[in-house]
Amino acid sequence: MSARWCEFSTTSTLALQPLLELLLEPVPSADKELVQLGLQESLVNAVRHGNGGDPLKILRVRRILMPRWFVWQVQDQGCGLPQQLRCAHLPH
């Protein structure tokens, strides 16, 4: 099985439950609660901090399903971290 991905977008509000349910569909029931907590925190952060709570902005999520991994890329319309706070490398 190769990677499969889907993109989702919604207005930037804290009414996230319908989006969360869609994003979590492929996650096994045993893992769903823990994964939901992390994903919900990422989405709330994007709405509150990235988009400043502005409902006119868009929240986008790409869900990537791989043979052994689930990946969610959350994108808001904020300006991101200042350049001096961005890491140029991944931690070890």
Which structural domain, as residue segments, surrounds residue 15? 4-78
Number of domains in the chain: 1
pTM to 2 decimal places: 0.84
Judge whether 89 lies within some domain: no
Judge whether 88 lies within some domain: no
Judge whether 17 lies within some domain: yes
pLDDT single digits (tens) 44-79: 999 999 999 999 999 999 999 998 899 999 999 998
pLDDT value of position 81: 80
| pLDDT surpassing 90 at residue 82 | no
Q: Give the CATH number, domain containing residue 9.
A: 3.30.565.10
Judge whether 25 lies within some domain: yes
| pLDDT surpassing 90 at residue 85 | no
For every residue of the chain, DSSP letters joined together read: ---EEEEEEEESSS--HHHHHHHHTTS-HHHHHHHHHHHHHHHHHIIIIISTT-TTSEEEEEEEE-SS-EEEEEE-SS--S-GGGS-SS---
pLDDT value of position 90: 62
| pLDDT surpassing 80 at residue 42 | yes
Judge whether 84 lies within some domain: no
pLDDT value of position 74: 97
